[in-house]
Structure 1
């Protein structure tokens, strides 16, 4: 069967010990260079709470056909540039791509990792976008995806084949909000060795290219664009303007990249979050909940802070130690503060792990400044006992507990958005820089 254009989706080729699914995008582009790429390659992050994810739970999608319209650079391998087109049509068959894609997946995926279960799919039509929304916000099962894509293209599974879920979901994504990322890759002989990037160049790039985000962790004084895993990635720069990404990449000093690819992504969009009442939240969801603080923060082993909010039902919320100074903000929350919490739901104990929060209003806190004065002699009255008010020993005048002189305490926090330090943010979490702009 011939199709107008062809979509290639791949997922789950990486592991904690190596590889990166995004690396395969450049291999696919090189393998099928006689075809035109339509639009940017896509990097689609899915539900970050999935227990069996390999690392960042990201899948890729590439769209091939006969391109037309504006032509723009999307990849460089060595000294060779590759381009994509704004639009395209064609008369392609998924069969033309199957063996080439299989060769690349089979030669790159981490076969020894039990959590690596790759798959690819080659489709002539996109699945319904509901698949993406289910996959980014909930749990999707392999048999459901098989049924959904039946008769629409070709897929191949490896090991338990769970990667088909991400591969098909990446193809089904129809961007609403979007960002871009240029990912650079290392020379093969350097994989697994320490990366060497000049810190000052990352800071300078961050300050110059305002459309980029999450480049440097000023709180921790550390580079945020480079991963810590032994994967092929050298660094990645994320931003809202794809035209800024190549110049931003070129501003980084240190180890030289062997190749780079620009992706259209759903990173930094908050698309994993769904508005919920507290009674309706469930494990492995990422939620937005409104509530009032009913128990002030307490510190537990490890430096984590736990506080409780209520909207009629209660739930504990957690700010973990890696969020660093974000915990300082959380530590100043008090009963009566009204908030919106953005975070993921943990099952046992039932907790919302906070990704960011918005303070809508702060409770007024009064502090006792002194005992009331006697209305007859003007001297300070003495306590008459616990919750018994005050009395003047000379005049025998009594005053109620509420007559003590109190002043309003100045709160060290104010209404607004707050987020953890850069290094503690999730791929999908929308940074305040994007919210406020």
Structure 2
């Protein structure tokens, strides 16, 4: 039997479709004769790319089969053409098929696609170098994600998602998923599932909002918990479910620490530095501050959807040492000036004491410094003092990790509850991948 890695990306549009659904329909055909060596992989890519697909997700199927490569590729092309939005001008599907083990260069390409901007030519060069068969529809930009999905083998931290699908003919119908049952499921499976609901807004997070075949998806730490969780949810309209192994909820896109001077538009990264200006709020409720790493500086923005995270940021003062994770935005209205969009804040060290020039005991005016380690002198009366004034600060924040509310977190962002649940490897056990939903849970 041959080992194959079949991947696809950019099959959806804002009006219809879903790349995971196309992947699921291909899977349902292949599973009749192929042996899957992994759960289907759901790979989220750099979320800062302006021309990304709706969810910026690629799918890779890894399996052993006696089928010819040409037949597998034809199957994938046929399914993609059947279920993609053929009238949308923006989607540019890409399909790739690699035979054999995944080489290291391909794995590096997969990692780069999480935080860099990659050119289609780079993807084609990699494909040609390793005899990867591929098919591009229209511009074929989805080939970048397809090649990256093959290379992203999820050898370290990963999560799982069980997605319940409805019929393609029902993708414009309102979803019927009971909130209270999801809230109860979330409570009973915590911390092994995550981001099921947003408590503050009472919003369901397992249901997408667009017109697509997904009814809902539950994310968590292992397949067994997800199957159990799905059975707790009251819903109607699902036809079958598929379990994916994924990089969602892992912070994989911000695993690269960068200097500010090395940042480029649309990159994702983590930066360590010191707050260089007092945060201020602009129209719309967005909070801005300047961050310096000692060599360069950049404005960091926490937008209104960041919720209570903005209050923490507003309590920062110059000198506080922090880590910020997020992506680089290019502001065309400000002459293509780069701004760092904040997704995650870690306060490493707060300033609890501030030194200031002392006040003259005679004139009650602020004294002038005579130079480093030379003390202070009053300009008016000539009084000299050796030491600065020390002001003890009462801080309204503390050291630790801060995130926006679940409703505003990106797919790749790691929830607080996943800290200390990270995986160092995968046990390579593949259980039930897909199953039909025998009956709806709601009348």
Same fold (TM over 0.5): yes
Name structure 2 gaps, 5 residues minimum: 332-336, 369-375, 422-443
Aligned to 1:247: 228
Q: Is the 8 A contact 1:13 1:118 kept in 2?
A: yes
Q: Using the TM superposition, give the Cα deviation of residue 385 of structure 1 relative to its aligned residue in structure 2, in angstroms.
A: 5.0
Does residue 228 of the first structure (1) align with residue 209 of the second (2)? yes
Aligned to 1:195: 175
Aligned to 1:340: 323
For residue 163 of structure 2, the aligned residue among 183, 187, 209 is: 183
Matches within 5 A, 1:164-183: 164-175=143-154, 176-183=156-163
Name structure 1 gaps, 5 residues minimum: 66-89, 375-380
Give me the whole-angstrom Cα distance separating, in 2, the residues matched to 1:141 and 1:340: 29
Does residue 40 of the first structure (1) align with residue 36 of the second (2)? no
- For residue 59 of structure 2, give the secondary structure of its aligned residue in structure 1: strand
Aligned to 1:305: 287
Does residue 98 of the first structure (1) align with residue 73 of the second (2)? yes
Does residue 270 of the first structure (1) align with residue 248 of the second (2)? no
Q: Using the TM superposition, give the Cα deviation of residue 401 of structure 1 relative to its aligned residue in structure 2, in angstroms.
A: 12
1:314-349 deviations in Å (ceiling 9; x for gaps) = 111111101111111111111121101111111333
* Cα distance change, pair 403–276 in 1 and its aligned pair in 2 (3 A): closer
For residue 435 of structure 1, the aligned residue among 408, 413, 419 is: 419
For residue 350 of structure 1, the aligned residue among 332, 338, 345 is: 338
After superposing the two structures, state which structure 1 stretch, 253-262 or 319-328, moved more.
253-262
Give me the whole-angstrom Cα distance separating, in 1, the residues matched to 2:7 and 2:173: 30
1:97-156 deviations in Å (ceiling 9; x for gaps) = 122222111011112222200021222133521120121121222222222222624321
Does residue 161 of the first structure (1) align with residue 140 of the second (2)? yes
- For residue 346 of structure 1, give the secondary structure of its aligned residue in structure 2: strand
After superposing the two structures, state which structure 1 stretch, 126-135 or 10-19, moved more.
126-135
Aligned to 1:29: 27
Q: Using the TM superposition, give the Cα deviation of residue 355 of structure 1 relative to its aligned residue in structure 2, in angstroms.
A: 0.7
For residue 134 of structure 1, the aligned residue among 90, 95, 112 is: 112
Give me the whole-angstrom Cα distance separating, in 2, the residues matched to 1:227 and 1:402: 61
Give me the whole-angstrom Cα distance separating, in 1, the residues matched to 2:168 and 2:262: 48
The TM-score with structure 2 as length reference comes to 0.83
For residue 193 of structure 2, the aligned residue among 212, 215, 222 is: 212
Matches within 5 A, 1:322-341: 322-341=305-324
- For residue 231 of structure 1, give the secondary structure of its aligned residue in structure 2: coil
Q: Is the 8 A contact 2:168 2:212 kept in 1?
A: no
Q: Using the TM superposition, give the Cα deviation of residue 193 of structure 1 relative to its aligned residue in structure 2, in angstroms.
A: 2.6
Which structure's CA Rg is the greater one? 1
Could you say which structure has the higher strand fraction?
1
- For residue 325 of structure 2, give the secondary structure of its aligned residue in structure 1: strand
After superposing the two structures, state which structure 1 stretch, 49-58 or 187-196, moved more.
187-196
Q: Is the 8 A contact 2:176 2:237 kept in 1?
A: no
Q: Is the 8 A contact 1:6 1:93 kept in 2?
A: no
Does residue 282 of the first structure (1) align with residue 264 of the second (2)? yes
The TM-score with structure 1 as length reference comes to 0.84
Aligned to 1:423: 407
1:368-417 deviations in Å (ceiling 9; x for gaps) = 9xx99x9xxxxxx9x7456699x9xxxx9x9979898x873431211000
Total equivalences in the alignment = 396
